[in-house]
Amino acid sequence: MSHTLHRRGTPENLAHDFPMHAMPARGFNHEGAQPKLQEFLRIAHGNNPVNLGDVKLGNQFVTDYDELHEKLTISSTHAVLANESDLVTLLQEVKEAELGMSLTISGLFDKLFACCAHAGIQPHAVEHSLGVLGKTEKMPEDEIAQVTSMCGHAMVAQGLVRRLIRQVKKGTITPEEAGVELAKPCRCGIFNPVRAATLIDEYCALYTVSDR
């Protein structure tokens, strides 16, 4: 199961959110996987990603691309795209590279299937989240959860989201700056800071702040 599977939102605000990870299978193809994952990272980097990362090295907002590429581990390599045409190009280039790595992409099914078709790729399997069960009353409201669920390891705290909304509301930072700050704790790099900026900008109308 992918940690990108449980992103919450509407069809409109999920339409430009395509998190993905390339990952070897230990015991099958993990030996010698680093150059193949480096090639995937290079391909992703050339297709306008809004985030890149390695679960052990961090994302592009805490570790620059050259260091990520040079020291990339064989755990899992992540990227997030925000444009369908970029995704089609990435898929075509990954197909041509014949890396032999499993590539998992999350997003709205209709858009993903269309992109795969344009790239000449037949998806191997499909996963679908059944939602969150249990004491859901302990979860943050849906607006906040739409931001925090973009980090599949729960490293983006709801308190940080609320604080940054207040700062944007007061005008001390921009929504784009808030998106980057929220992306930093998500080490593996599947957080979409562009979508976060858009959501926070919208949420400013829903929250009030004190001048103190």
φ, ψ of residue 209 to 5 degrees: the values are -130, 155
In sequence order, the 6+-apart residues with CB closer than 8 A to the CB of 130 are none
In which order are the strands placed within the sheet that holds 51-54?
58-59, 51-54, 77-81, 18-23, 102-105
| pLDDT at site 205 | 85
| pLDDT at site 179 | 98
| pLDDT at site 131 | 84
Evaluate the CA torsion angle 92, 35, 106, 87 in order and state its sign. negative
Enumerate the domain spans of the chain.
Answer: 18-119, 136-203
| Of 53, 17, 9, the residue nearest 147 (C-alpha) | 9
Q: What is the pLDDT along the chain (212 residues), one digit of tens a residue?
A: 578 888 999 999 999 999 999 999 888 888 899 999 999 999 999 999 999 999 899 999 999 999 999 999 998 999 999 999 999 999 999 999 999 999 999 999 999 999 999 999 999 999 988 888 899 898 899 999 999 999 999 999 999 999 999 999 999 999 999 999 999 999 999 999 999 999 999 998 887 776 65
Model confidence pTM above 0.85? yes
